[in-house]
Structure 1
Amino acid sequence: MTVTDTQLAMAGEALAEVLVRKGLTVATAESCTGGWVAKVLTDRAGSSAYLMAGLVTYSNDAKRSVLGVPDETLEQHGAVSEPVVRHMVRGAIQVANVDVAVAISGIAGPGGGTEQKPVGTVWFAWGAAAGGAEARVQCFEGDRDQVRRQAVLYVLEGVTGFLEGL
């Protein structure tokens, strides 16, 4: 699936509108997307009203030191896993002191995939400081750019739906 800049902008605008309407603040904890979710959210003027931090924690060391992901979790499950993205969300909420956080960790390619976690595998989580969280996994097709674009769109739409339900 090809995701366009227009699709990303529209999804970012939809999330921004929900955040503003509900008076919520957000932080992103991104690995394979390298800050792209935060970039989309800051494309809108006035984004400092809702986006408090965009944390790019690409390495395991950064996931540990910045977000507090336990060594045991990384060793046992790997960076691309549900337990890690759930920890990333909790860490981002604490570090940035926000209402909501999103986390992404995946294998965008072209290398790095395994039989259990092929290229295109991306884990997502989003959650609220007040409670409630979701984690999901997707396996996207395409080259590195396509995988990353699909991941950004997926998380923007996913957290928008989650927030609408709060």
Structure 2
Amino acid sequence: MKQDRSSFDSGAHNEEVFTPLVKQPKGRRKSIEISGEENFDNSSFNIANEQSKMQFEQKQIIPSPIEPNHAKKRGRPVEITDERFKVTKPKKISPALESKLSVLQDYMVEFQDTTGRITFEMVVATLAESYISHRLGVAKEEHIQKEIQEMFDKLK
């Protein structure tokens, strides 16, 4: 049989009482308002970008070392006492060479007893010493060691 559905019949249903699983929070609800949320103008992006730059620059203020939470030094301790051994230029090598050196340092017997970090300078110095002592003759080795010592003394 056909039912007349031209009007909505709400009287046939029984209302059931239920208890919600999640209770509504008491008190004032928190709301977040974003300035310029409805602004789709081209200039709004530039203003927001400038504001974020200003906030970023304000966060980069370096705290003074007098503050108590920065009194303790962090990171690796600096053990360089001679100025001639301080690194002054960044390494400019390709990623391919860097990966080659990192693989090579695993096979270098000179670093088997080293427990700390192996630096790029340590790898290059070890390779140079190994080349001088194994590839060159005794006379050339003595000559190169003498030249290296002279260059080292000029650095003072």
Please say whether Structure 1 and Structure 2 have the same fold, judged by a TM-score greater than 0.5: no
**Higher RCO (C-alpha 8 Å, min separation 6):** 1
TM-score range, shorter chain: under 0.3
- More strand per residue: 1 or 2? 1
